[in-house]
Structures are given as C-alpha cells and as structure tokens.
Structure 1
Amino acid sequence: MAIELTLTGARILRPQGWDSGPLAFAGGVFSDAAQGRAVDLHGYDVLPGIVDLHGDGFERHMAPRRGALRETDAGMVAVAAELAANGITTAFLAQFWSWEGGLRGPDFAETVFASVARVAPGLPVDLRLQMRLETHFVESFDRAMAAIREFGIGYVVFNDHLPHDRLAQGRRPPRLTGQALKSGRNPEDHLALMQRLHDAGGTVPKILDGICAQLVDAGIRIGSHDDTDRARRNVWRRRGADIAEFPETMDAAQAARDAGDAVIMGAPNVVRGASHAGKIAARDVIAAGLCDALASDYHYPSPSRAARRCVELGLLDDADAWRLVSDGPARVLGLTDRGRLQPGLRADFVIAERETGRIAATFAQGQVAFMSGRVADRFLMGDKSL
C-alpha cells in the first residue's frame, strides 16, 4: 500500500526557497493537499533528494576483493543502501568500458549492468547506468553498442586514460605492474596493448565521430570527461557531447558555458578543497558561476557534504548550494520529474538534522529508503512531537 503522509513543522526547501508550510505526498508523488496522517518534524530540514550523475563508489560493494564477484546482486542491494544513507535518491553508476580490464573491462561492466537490471526494479532508490567508454578502445565499440541497447543505457561519457606522452617517448608508464595485475595481464602484455592502441590513434577521431553520431541518433546523452582546454571541449561538442564532466581547467569550463553546455564537477573536490589529481579546484569553478551540478565521483557521502561546504565557504547560500546536487543535475539530464519539492513530482526527499546537517532519513518515490535515530520516533508517533 502506498504511503500517504503530511510533514509539518520542518523547514522545507521548495523551488522558491525555504518555508515552513506542510509537505504532503501520496502514491509516490508530492501533493498540493494534506494526505494521510501528519508527522511533526520540528528541528529538521526537508530537502530534495540528491541526483548523482556520476559515481563509481559501487565498485567496493561489487568486488570487495580482487576476484570476489560471486554475490553481485547482494552487492548492488548494499550500494542502494549506501546511496540512501547519503541522501541519494537517483544514482547513475559510472561503469568503465575500457582496455584497462579488471573492474574496468567489458566483462565486469556487463556483470554490473545485468545486476542492475535484476535488482533495481525492487529498490526505492532509482539506479541508472552510465557507460564510461574509452576513446581508443575502438575494437570493442560494437560490443559496447550492443550492451547500451540491451541494458537501456542512456548516458555515455568518453574517457582517455592512455598515457600518450610516455608511450610516444617509448617509456614505461608509471605504476604499470600494479595496473597490469589488476587487469589480469602480465606487465609486458599490458604495455604492448597500450602501445598498440596509442599507435593506432590516427584512426580514432573519425571512428569517434561515427559512434557519437549513432548515440545521438539513438537519443542517448553523451559527455566528455577531463577536458583539458577550450579546443578539446569544442571537439567533443561538435560530436554532440553537451555535458562536460570534471573539466581540468577554467578555460575548458568556460568554453562549455559559452556554448550552453552543462558542467559537472566532483563533490569530493569541493570537500577536499582541491582535485586529488592536481587539476582545477571545483570551488573556483563554482565561484565563477560555471558549475551546473556536483557528482559523487568516487565517494557517496560527498554531495551532501559539498553542499554544506559551499555555504561554509560563502560561495553560495544554502538553497543554491543544495540545488547543485538536486535540481541542477536533474536538469542536466532532463529528469523533469525530480530534483524539486513540488506537487506532481516524485516524492524524493531527504530529512536532515537542522543543527548538524546529518541525514536522518531518505524517501525515494514516497518509500522509506533510509531512516535512523530519533527521526524514526517522529514517524512512529504520528502527529505527536517529542
């Protein structure tokens, strides 16, 4: 039976800003009239559920140790639980499709895709898929397209992790042995594969033009990753990639904005105060007004923490900061049914402790996805306050 509730007494973050009016939902969507029984949430804030456009933190649940892949469905359930505990109600699982092999190879990717297909329909959190397609892994593009069609993947981002400078100089890339072991290859075979893909680089641009055209024609959103400058961003835009994930320079971010493209930055970058790879600080991109959305990247707790950090740093007020993890990402991918607390939209919301910002409960499509601590007493007691 669908939950029908009216939340009262809380501070509610609506599209027009904060207010203290009641928030009701029934049948998985927000209502403009009181529904069911009332729950007193004095002392709490209610915010839109977080929409995470890019996160690979699921890997530790799917493969807690190298080769430990037998309980993939149980791992995906654990992923959903972690997402909900961090206020994420819609999550795009960013899965590599790469020559790097191991957790980044096609075999593992198809395992992840199949697990999501089996498990996601029974979970309140909306699990979706993003394919991170390596630009020079052209020999696998037919297989990648087949997987995109089979699993209904609607978002593809292009990466290039080949160490081109080293390979062009005939030098061994750093950390080669460790990366080879992760891929299941010996170091010499791994190096030979990288060298072969690098040497064939002259054929790659035309092939990318073709596969991007196929994706765009199929209605699939595409994006670039780690753009280094304006020229590179513009190349990807001409291919139809109107999303720039984690641009590495202000020049690349500005190029995306000038063209009307969306810019996604990493929430851990905001929390840390800098990129872990030494690139541009997300805070600077936000301060320049160039950031449309923040994503978890590799750490699911970071989006909510990054929103609070933006307020602490004086970059944004609390309403605009939260929009970077809710309404902003929803708009980037055209998810018009979520990201805001508004009648008729999905009842995806987070209940946070007013003083600490700690997430106390998460509802996804009107269902309890996470609840902990004293807030649970409020729901059990109905309209009685503590």
Structure 2
Amino acid sequence: MSALELTLTGADVLRPDGVERGGELTFAGGEIQTARAGRAIDLTGYRILPGIVDLHGDGFERHLAPRRGAMKQMTEGVIAAEAELAANGITTAVLAQFYSWEGGLRGPDFAGQVFEGIKAARSRVVTDLVPQLRFEIHLLDAYDELPSQIARWQVPYVVFNDHLPHDRLAQGKKPPRLTGQALKAGRNPDVHWQMLKDMHARRPEVPAALDKLAATLGAAGVRLGSHDDHSAGDRITWRDRGARISEFPETMAAAETAKAAGDAVILGSPNVVRGGSHKGNASALDLITMGLCDALASDYHYPSPRRAALMLERSGLLDLAGAWRLVSEGPAQILGLEDRGRLGTGLRADLVILDADDQIAATFSGGRVSYMSGDVAARFLT
C-alpha cells in the first residue's frame, strides 16, 4: 500500500516547539508537508503525537514461540508481532533477540531463524523493524563467525550481555533453576552444569576477544551497547570498546558515568509504570528526575512506553514534550535516525493518534496506516 495524502485538522498536535491546539498536520509521500494535500479529516477531540521509537523490546517472543516447538513459520510470527507493535503506537521497533549459550529461544540456531524471519517480513509490514542481537559474551566459540552472520542478517545494532552466575560458579555451587534452564535448552542438566563451569573457567579469555569483536563490528558501522551495567567501572570498560549505549543500567553510578561521558542511557518503561525495577535495581523515576535518561524502551511490555510517557506528564515530573521525547525523538537520535521522532516538515510521517482516554486510536508509519480502531475509523472512512 502506498503512502496516503491527508490533512488532519482540529487535533492537538505535539510539535517540536510545543502543543498546537486545534492544529493541522498534512502528510504526503510518506513525509510531513507544509501545504495542505489530500482529503481533510476532522480529528477534533484527539491528540497527534510523534510515533514511538522503541529501542529495545523482546515482547515479540510470545508470537514467535507461543508454545515450545509449536511455531515453525517465523515470518508469520514477526507479522503477528508487528500488529501488536502498531496497536501500541510503535512506528519503529528494535526487536531484541538473544544469541546465547542459554539455548532454546535464546540459542544461536533460533536467533538465526528470527533474523531471517525479520528480513523476510520487513517488506510485508508497515512498522519499521530493526533487528538487535544480544550477544552473551562468554560464548567464545561463536566470536569468529559472528561478524559475518551479523552482516548476513543485516543486524545494525549489537548489545553485549553476561548472564553467567559468576558468584555461584566461583563457589562451585549450582545456580538456582539450573535443571529447568537445561531442559528448556534441550540439554541434560549435568551437561549444562559442566558447560557453565567450562565457560566460567575461560573467563580470562573474554576481554581480549571482546576488544577484537567490538573493533570489527564498529568498523563495519554496527551500533554497540552494553546491557545491565552494574558499576561506573563497567560503563567505562564498555565505552572504551566503543559501546556507547547503556541499556538498563542497574545503578545510579553506572548511569551517572554514562551521562557524564555523553553515552546514551536507555531505561525500561515498565520500570516507570511499576514505580520501580522488578529486580530491585535503580528506579527509572529517580534516574529520570536526575536527568539521567535519554530514552525509554518497552523492554518486555509494548504498552508501557505510551503509558510511561503519559504518567511522567501527569505526575508533573516532565511536560508532555519532555516526556514524549523519551519515547520518540530521544530513541530516534540514539539510533541515528534523524528523519523521525518529531512532527516537522520533511520528516517521516510517523505519528500516533490518541483518543480522549489516551488510548491508541490510530498509528501511521511512513504515512501508511499500521493500526486503526474504534470511533476514529469513521472519520477516515466517511
């Protein structure tokens, strides 16, 4: 379907310089225009805001593998996930997929299927889908092949993770839930336990391997980040490798260190909605209050970016422009996408229409309808 030509009138429009009451927004050819074009649609009573740019979300997993082994058509799962993204006002979505020793839905084989599925689905959906590879750094045997795989899968964004339970392994103790984790990965628990011990024993080899891998990926133009920075030292180490994005820093010290150096800080919008981290880490609200947040991401719950931004506005912590920037312009800038995140002339027509109850009435990505439901549809169809 080609991009529409429409002039939306009467709505409150969130412009870069503030809210335009009873404003007018025109788009044609997939971009926002100055001069009127196409049919005029009266949206009095609605609000128009920039489309949400979601920097990190893994909620798509439920569509790709609703039951273990049940989902074989990966592309169909991606298409189903895109429908959920659009219904939540997300116009650009980073799909975060593990490439991990944990196996199962996080294993390298499954990751390959996911990335191929995203490639195949992108031309069939409206939402702009961006694949992200979450690499478990102790998977040493994967380092040599990974850069070519990333290039083949057209992955522009890699984040480094470390989920090995080092403290317990150093004590020779089995981690909790080891048996369940092993069975999910299709491994014998004893084999899985030995694998963890072997990876932990090779821990000294990881820094040099990471330095080389990060340099190779950075030279290829891949955007790099780290996940769950725990300390200022962690952030400094990752920055020195070229990973300038800090996803979900666990402590205020890590976030402060990132911000002081100009690194991007991404926090979880569910943390805002819940009023705190479900793991007991630093509160997103506290970090936002201190100016230590550049963007909010859905993490595991796609409705949360919209809800978090509106909660920040209602609480008085930020005005609407500042709150919504955390889910639109802020993440767009982190991804280097200068053509979106704001409702300005010449930019992509990525926009969300909210009804009087602040529910998603419609979503447009690149001037194309990705979602529309309820009473607003009558205004476009009559």
- If the length of structure 1 is used for normalisation, what is the TM-score? 0.97
Q: Which residues of 2 match residues 131-142 of structure 1 at below 5 A?
A: 131-142=133-144
Q: Which residue, 201, 204, 207 being the options, matches 2:203?
A: 201
Task: Please tell me the residue identity of whatever aligns with 1:142.
Answer: D
1:135, CA displacement in angstroms?
1.0
- Partner of residue 84, structure 1: 86
Q: 1:361 corresponds to which residue?
A: 362
Q: Distance in 2 between matches of 1:364 and 1:127?
A: 11
Q: 1:343 matched to which residue of 2?
A: 345
What corresponds to 1:291 in structure 2?
293
The within-5 A match list for 1:163-174 is 163-174=165-176
Give the AA of the match of 1:340. R
In structure 2, what residue type is equivalent to 1:249?
A: T
**Counterpart position of 1:17:** 18
1:191 and 1:175 map into 2 onto residues whose CA distance is 11
Could you tell me how far 1:313 is from its partner in structure 2? Answer: 2.5
Structure 1 segment 23-172 matched on structure 2, within 5 A: 23-172=25-174
Shift of 1:255: 0.1
Other structure's SS at 1:171 match: coil
Superposed CA offset, 1:79-120 (max 9, x none): 110000000000010000000000001100000000111111
Distance 1:2 1:170 in 2: 59
TM-score of the pair, normalised by structure 2: 0.98
Q: What does residue 235 of structure 1 align with?
A: 237
Q: How many angstroms does 1:325 deviate by?
A: 0.3
Percent identity between the two aligned chains? 60
1:276 equivalenced with 2:278 (yes/no):
yes
1:7 and 2:8 equivalent?
yes
Mapped contact 1:97–1:144 kept (Cα < 8 A): no
What's the offset of the Cα at 1:160?
A: 0.2
Give distance in 2, aligned partners of 1:138 and 1:146. 15
Partner residue in 1 for 2:253: 251
Partner of 1:384: none
1:177 aligned to 2:179?
Answer: yes
Q: CA deviation at 1:69?
A: 2.4
**RMSD (Å), alpha carbons:** 0.9
Preserved contact between residue 86 and residue 359 of structure 1 (Cα < 8 Å): yes
Counterpart-to-counterpart distance in 1, 2:274 and 2:215: 37
Partners in 2 of 1:307 and 1:264 — Cα distance?
A: 14
What residue identity is the alignment partner of 1:189? Answer: V
- CA–CA separation in structure 1 for the residues paired with 2:70 and 2:250: 34
CA distance in 1, matches of 2:312, 2:144: 42
Query: Displacement of 1:241 after TM fit?
Result: 0.6
Q: Within 1, Cα distance between the matches of 2:195 and 2:223?
A: 29
Give unmatched runs, 5+ long, in structure 1: 382-386
Give the ranges of 4+ consecutive aligned residues of structure 1 lying more than 3 Å apart after TM superposition: none
Where do 5+ consecutive residues of structure 2 fail to align?
none
Q: CA deviation at 1:2?
A: 3.4
Using the alignment, how far apart are the partners of 1:314 and 1:337 within structure 2? 29
Once the two structures are TM-superposed, the CA of residue 162 in structure 1 deviates from its matched residue by 0.2
Please list the CA deviations of residues 41-91 of structure 1 after superposition, one character each: whole Å capped at 9, or x if unmatched. Answer: 000000000001100001000000011121222111111100000000000
